[in-house]
Structure 1
């Protein structure tokens, strides 16, 4: 055996025995998308990336806010098909993935902000919610309150009757569509990226959206009136590819999920301040705040409940989830 053959034999032997060459951990890329910019969703993304970069150097987080990876429906599909690893979004946009996501649009469950966040951050809820979307390659790794919803309009909404006849942009969930119909408005579901052009062209007259999103996207230039609805919160979820998560080393996956949970409280606290900052920015740029009266909020809750009761009763999966979450609130 000549020297060359001896050297080759040695190299092959080392490879078989698993030693002799250093093992390099493979970097995992996490594309993290959102439709918004400079709101609590975007802030959560930045907080999450900062923690992951410090604690999990083998996971490279890339942020894509403001619909850089496409409109909302395409980003949901991206997570399902594995081309996007994670997407933070209003849970209504996940309702077609799994009817259990519609639970977050049942306003009566979440009308108390403090109880809502207590429920969403509890271990028993997390254990239950991690299975939402499990047949469509989606796993929620974080769910929290974004802000109260608001009604942004071209003319002031002083009472619920003022909504009659208006074309109102809503999320693509029957839990916003049916109440608007009951109030005499025409609900128009559309992705966030299409809202401002629709306001400018008159395709819609009003928008249901988070006040922080409305201020960030300068809706006051086209629709200067805002009415916050404290009893109707917007809840968001970090929808992550199940396949991507399951391919991570066990310790990495567990730590990443823990980081996702740990960042929530910091993001929620930041978001509370952001609601006030949004209100200040709104009025500073010529917008007007016209909050609903307590009686109007109570009437809206009644309309939401009556117009959506059948949606719950006729969906066994959803009704079971609503009953379970109501039980957790007691």
Structure 2
């Protein structure tokens, strides 16, 4: 065998060995690869974002770099419908949102939107942090391919308008952005409002152009996104206490090692309890920021508030009357509230 032949044979063997190792690397690496969890939301600098940051820290404390939690607030991964679709398909591992935005994923999410169900933040906390209820909530939507790993008090629902509204008559004819939930749309329609579901990113341009007259939201969102530069008036209607949840794609969740799955569940529950007082205080901070920046807050008379809430309650009962699965969840919440209120 000539020197050239030997050199060619050695080179070919070397290249073959490199190719074999290269083919093996993806398989060898996959056993040790760091898993990534993309965690999305439409908002920023609010209680949802705060929960995500706490969750990220809690996961790191439990499993180190075995799970890399990446945060994508402020609709970086798309509008709300796209993020909801992403977590169902598994292109986004997790998504934090008010329950009202995922009623199209499962109508049972409507149960949290029933007007007047929760009187205040403390009642929300007492229910969503109850261990039995959290166990129930975590697996309630597994048949849709998602698991609840975070339940968060968000804020009371108020209404933002370009012009001041201080009477029930003032709501008539207004075109108001709502969540897509029937339990937001139908009560508004009963007041003479034209409910208009829109992505959060579309609200400011529509307000500026006069395409809509206002929006339903919690005041932390209104202040965080500086809506006082576009519309200065908020009317306290105390429609609902918004609850946010973090959904994780169940197939992705089950693909993780047991240690990581346990860390995700524990971190989610620890984070939601940590941020609860932060969220309550944030409502107060947000209202102060609203007023400090020239915004105004209006209230209805006691008689009109009572009329408003009676209308909301009647409409809500009609909306879910033929949806036993929604009623079942609502009754589960109501039973826990009865227990809480009796103490």
Q: Partner of 2:216: helix, strand, or coil?
A: strand
Structure 2 gap ranges (5+)? 1-27, 339-343
Distance change (3 Å), C-alpha of 1:200 and 1:127:
same
Shift of 1:325: 1.9
Q: Note if contact 1:166-1:186 (Cα within 8 Å) is conserved in structure 2.
A: yes
Shift of 1:294: 4.2
Is 2:246 the partner of 1:238?
A: yes
1:228-307 → structure 2 map (5 Å cutoff): 228-230=236-238, 232-307=240-315
What residue number does 1:47 align with? 54
Is 2:83 the partner of 1:75?
A: yes
Q: Note if contact 1:211-1:228 (Cα within 8 Å) is conserved in structure 2.
A: no
Q: Partner of 2:173: helix, strand, or coil?
A: coil
The whole-number CA distance in structure 2 between the counterparts of 1:35 and 1:297 is 31
| Residue 26 (structure 1) aligned to one of 14, 24, 33 | 33
The whole-number CA distance in structure 2 between the counterparts of 1:321 and 1:164 is 32
What residue number does 2:7 align with? none
Is 2:164 the partner of 1:163?
A: no
Q: Partner of 1:275: helix, strand, or coil?
A: helix
The whole-number CA distance in structure 2 between the counterparts of 1:233 and 1:74 is 25
Shift of 1:255: 2.1
The whole-number CA distance in structure 2 between the counterparts of 1:293 and 1:233 is 20
- TM (normalized to structure 2)? 0.86
The whole-number CA distance in structure 1 between the counterparts of 2:302 and 2:52 is 34
The whole-number CA distance in structure 2 between the counterparts of 1:56 and 1:295 is 55
- TM (normalized to structure 1)? 0.89
Q: Note if contact 1:111-1:231 (Cα within 8 Å) is conserved in structure 2.
A: no
Number of equivalences: 310
More deviation, 31-40/119-128: 119-128
Q: Note if contact 1:30-1:60 (Cα within 8 Å) is conserved in structure 2.
A: yes
Q: Which runs of 4+ in 1 moved over 6 A?
A: 21-24
What residue number does 1:92 align with? 100
What residue number does 1:38 align with? 45
The whole-number CA distance in structure 2 between the counterparts of 1:133 and 1:274 is 29
Q: Partner of 1:66: helix, strand, or coil?
A: coil
Q: Which has the higher helix share?
A: 2
The whole-number CA distance in structure 2 between the counterparts of 1:253 and 1:30 is 12
Structural RMSD (CA): 1.8
Structure 1 gap ranges (5+)? 1-20
The whole-number CA distance in structure 2 between the counterparts of 1:238 and 1:273 is 21
